[in-house]
Amino acid sequence: MANENIETSFQDALDAGQIAGAIICVSDAKGHFVYNRTLGERTLLSGEKKPHQLDDVVFLASATKLLTTIAALQCVEDGLLSLTGDLSSVAPELAAKQVITGFSEDGETPLLEPLARPITLEMLLSHSSGFVYHFLNPLVARWREKFGQDLDKSGRLPVEELYSYPLAFQPGAGWMYGTGVDWAGRIVERATGKTLGERMHERIFGPLGITDAQFYPVTREDLRARQVDLNPSDPDGLGRAVIGGDGEPNMRTKGDFGGHGLFMTAADYVKILQSLMANDGKILKPAMVDDMFEPHHLSPEATKGHRAALASPTGVYFLVGTAPELKSTFGFGGHLTLEDVEGWYGERTLSWGGGLTLAWFIDRKHDLCGICAIQASLPSHNAAITTLKQIFRTDVYRKHAAWKNGHRSS
Tell me what the mean pLDDT of segment 200-214 comes to. Answer: 98
Do 356 and 242 meet the contact criterion of CB atoms below 8 Å apart?
yes
Tell me what the mean pLDDT of segment 88-106 comes to. Answer: 96
Q: Is the pLDDT of residue 3 over 80?
A: no
Which residues 6+ apart lie within 8 Å of 346 measured at CB? 337, 340, 363, 364, 365, 366
Q: Is the pLDDT of residue 172 over 80?
A: yes
Length of the chain counted residue by residue: 410
Q: Is the pLDDT of residue 155 over 80?
A: no
Higher-confidence position of 1 and 359: 359
Catalytic residue among 27, 65, 126, 216: 65
The pLDDT score that the predictor gives to residue 410 is 55
Judge whether 153 counts as a catalytic residue.
no
**66-77 tens-digit pLDDT:** 999 999 999 999
Least Cα distance to 63 among 123, 122, 23 occurs for: 23
The pLDDT score that the predictor gives to residue 259 is 98
Tell me what the mean pLDDT of segment 287-300 comes to. Answer: 98
Higher-confidence position of 71 and 106: 71
Q: Where are the alpha helices (DSSP H) in 256-381?
A: 266-278, 286-292, 300-311, 315-319
The pLDDT score that the predictor gives to residue 276 is 98
Judge whether 46 counts as a catalytic residue.
no
For the chain, the average pLDDT equals: 95
pLDDT band at 245 (very low <50, low <70, confident <90, very high): confident
Q: Where are the alpha helices (DSSP H) in 110-260?
A: 121-126, 138-147, 159-162, 180-192, 196-200, 221-224, 248-251
Rounded to two decimals, the pTM is: 0.97
Percent of the chain at pLDDT > 90 equals 92
pLDDT band at 247 (very low <50, low <70, confident <90, very high): confident
Judge whether 65 counts as a catalytic residue.
yes
Tell me what the mean pLDDT of segment 275-279 comes to. Answer: 98
Relative orientation angle of helices 64-77 and 266-278, to the nearest 10 degrees: 40
The pLDDT score that the predictor gives to residue 148 is 81
pLDDT band at 2 (very low <50, low <70, confident <90, very high): low
pLDDT band at 246 (very low <50, low <70, confident <90, very high): confident
Rounded CA-CA distance 86/212 in Å is 35
The pLDDT score that the predictor gives to residue 406 is 84
The pLDDT score that the predictor gives to residue 248 is 81
Catalytic residue among 27, 126, 163, 177: 177
Which residues 6+ apart lie within 8 Å of 192 measured at CB? 75, 80, 199
Tell me what the mean pLDDT of segment 107-131 comes to. Answer: 97
Q: Is the pLDDT of residue 295 over 80?
A: yes
The pLDDT score that the predictor gives to residue 235 is 95
Q: Is the pLDDT of residue 396 over 90?
A: yes
Q: Is the pLDDT of residue 345 over 70?
A: yes
Tell me what the mean pLDDT of segment 143-171 comes to. Answer: 85
Tell me what the mean pLDDT of segment 80-89 comes to. Answer: 97
**190-202 tens-digit pLDDT:** 999 999 999 999 9
Tell me what the mean pLDDT of segment 265-283 comes to. Answer: 98
